[in-house]
Amino acid sequence: MPQKKLEILTILFENLNNPKLELLPTRMIESQMDISTKELRKTLNILKGMGLIQTDPDYQFNLITREGISWLSMKKR
């Protein structure tokens, strides 16, 4: 699961480069990864609990937090 967390945070971080910053739909993350919907939601819940992402109550839209950016930069060193 640590690799999945890193991959999700990377996708959310790359979304910050979008000129029209928008919340990233969960289905877009799922389409970029080899992961089941159930596993993705579980991982999003963990990341949310860690304060690394923000997501809506239904886990449909996601955004990386400053803490998530910091955590990602530490892991990629």
| List of domains in the chain | 2-75 (1.10.10.10)
Work out the pLDDT band at 19, boundaries 50, 70, 90: confident
pLDDT in tens, 26-45: 999 999 998 999 999 999 99
Burial label for 56, CB within 10 Å (0-12, 13-18, 19+), is exposed
Q: Quick check: 48 and 55 in contact, CB under 8 A?
A: yes
Give the whole-angstrom CA distance, residue 9 versus residue 43.
11
Per-residue model confidence (pLDDT) at position 1: 61
Q: Is 65 left (phi over 0), alpha (psi -120 to 50) or beta?
A: beta
Phi, psi of 65 (to 5 degrees): -95, 175
Work out the pLDDT band at 21, boundaries 50, 70, 90: confident
Q: Which of 21, 13, 24 is nearest to 64 (CA)?
A: 13
Q: Give me the mean pLDDT over the 18-33 stretch.
A: 91
Per-residue model confidence (pLDDT) at position 76: 75
